[in-house]
Chain A
């Protein structure tokens, strides 16, 4: 294929051009991952950091607990419940972001070009503000003395404020809000390319509205659904700021738990081992999801 020296030079030049990116990836992404992997097999230092002694304790501690007093081994159900909560909330967030994001993206994609630009602009507005501030704004809305409860009390719908802050629900609401644009934008991109004449063809061929959605729209915009879901699920699974502010200390997610090990916990190896576990969960989820999603043999059609 590359027998032609000119073509080979072209390929070499291509590699050279991408060298800065490759170096950056090696140093900035692969390097830290390797450090994490190495740290997870070391002893924790007394004041943080690590002792350079080979140890499997951290990995052991991911799933088991040794009692401080009598040394009995118990299952680390607290860790598992954190993992479970993280996965559950991330899935719920992805699902809900899709349910609300799909009609939004469809609506935007079917407007006039001018209107479309304006609406897309509105979608990106939240990115202008710091995530921390936006999350505190949600805190302000849903806390016991917040806007929502004050309003509901004032209208007389409720007598007692509804406790929403520092619950899983609060974390779910916060994450859905934060990650919704990441679902809407890729969905919009594929729906925008969707040939609306296919709807007419399907309708003409005896498909009802639901059949059109199921057999025509969803399969064709599937690439957008996949990328939107990935873009929401991955950061949601490792979310840190949102569960910290809206979930309080009790409703930790895996991101907070990892941070705890590197901070107050002074157990860097455990933190590192947990990070690797998170990475594995995400990778497995991605592989399963993309396999499942592309099993229909969906070759994208320009």
Chain B
């Protein structure tokens, strides 16, 4: 089993500074990343995802803990001795070298024969579709082209793992979408393990095989995009990835009595409590609104509707004062027929409500 693991962090902890001023950037993270996987580290800035990436690249060493590559300990190997390459957020292309020389830099430093370097560079140029740009300097390229040079440069030495440090954040939306598809294609074509760092949850959901969500130096949840979205491990994950509404109530087995009204049956969440006060999360698009005030839903009052084109967001307030957002598909007329002050009933499938592991 372990030979399927490309990179492993064992209780990796990173503390900057000492004594009172010490800052814990990474608080004991253990993680296994599989071979050939597109793994994304997702979290807000300062959550420790870039620190973890630096530990894997070798720019920093952990205060305690270990980093393993293909099962061997590389914790203290310098970056130039690790078969791991990085695509930097700023690209960090060498301004004095041509595109071809940039791409061949790693191979040249490794002392590979000239013919091999030239052949690999040609192959890489074709891979990132920059064949005609080989003799240009990075300063003469657009942002997207520079991005692809950075990718080709990091892929050329055929690293065991490719690290990508928010590489798309400097691109505009259109280009970012193109590069997301391009990155995924490159990963599939080369079969190299990608570790991708981002704070953009949409990017993470669309590209990754698995996502690790981080916050304040801790890994909160690791799983495939669907699991992360539909079964968030806690309140932070539920609100950081997509939008979530939170409801409080009292749980007894699978029966949940919401503070805002009815009693309903829920599925037991992973690691979630089965008794007492709990918080449950529900996605805005999982809720339906009916204008009838009867039935077994949750009674609510509309406070605001905002038209977003395909969707209309409807803010409602519950009996206990909890505010909830409901995302409705806009009808052909564009008007959902709800107005501030309308009395409505909220309904949803039992499985849509997820009990979170932490206490309310």
Interface residues of A (CB under 8 A from B): 195, 197-198, 200-208, 211, 215-216, 219-220, 222, 296, 298-299, 301-302
Contacts and interface: CB of A to CB of B under 8 A. Distances in A.
A220 B96 contact: yes
B155 to A, nearest CB: 11
A205 B84 CA distance: 9
Please name the 9 residue pairs, one residue from A and one from B, whose CB atoms are nearest each other, closest first: A301-B95, A205-B106, A201-B92, A206-B109, A197-B92, A219-B96, A207-B109, A301-B139, A206-B80
Interface in B133-167: 137-139, 153-154, 157
A203 B82 CA distance: 10
30 contacts: A198-B92, A200-B59, A200-B92, A201-B88, A201-B92, A202-B105, A203-B59, A204-B80, A204-B84, A204-B85, A204-B86, A204-B154, A205-B85, A205-B105, A205-B109, A205-B154, A205-B157, A206-B80, A206-B81, A206-B106, A206-B109, A206-B110, A206-B157, A208-B109, A215-B109, A219-B97, A220-B96, A222-B96, A301-B96, A301-B139
B79 A203 contact: yes
Contacts of B97: 219
Contacts of A201: 86, 88, 92-94
Interface of B: 57-59, 78-81, 84-86, 88, 90, 92-97, 105-106, 108-110, 137-139, 153-154, 157
A203 B59 CA distance: 9
A218 to B, nearest CB: 10
B109 A220 contact: no
A215 B92 CA distance: 14
B139 A208 contact: no
A204 B79 contact: yes
B80 A197 contact: no
| A interface majority secondary structure | helix
B69 to A, nearest CB: 14
Given A198-B92, A203-B79, A301 B138 contact: yes
B170 to A, nearest CB: 13
A197 B90 contact: yes
Contacts of B79: 200, 203-204
Nearest to B163: A204
A220 B157 contact: no
Contacts of A198: 92, 94-95
Contact of B139 (A202, A206, A299): A299
B92 A298 contact: no
A216 B93 CA distance: 10
Nearest to B106: A205
A215 B86 CA distance: 19
B80 A203 contact: yes
B61 to A, nearest CB: 14
Contacts of B59: 200, 203-204
B78 A203 contact: yes
B94 A299 contact: no
A124 to B, nearest CB: 29
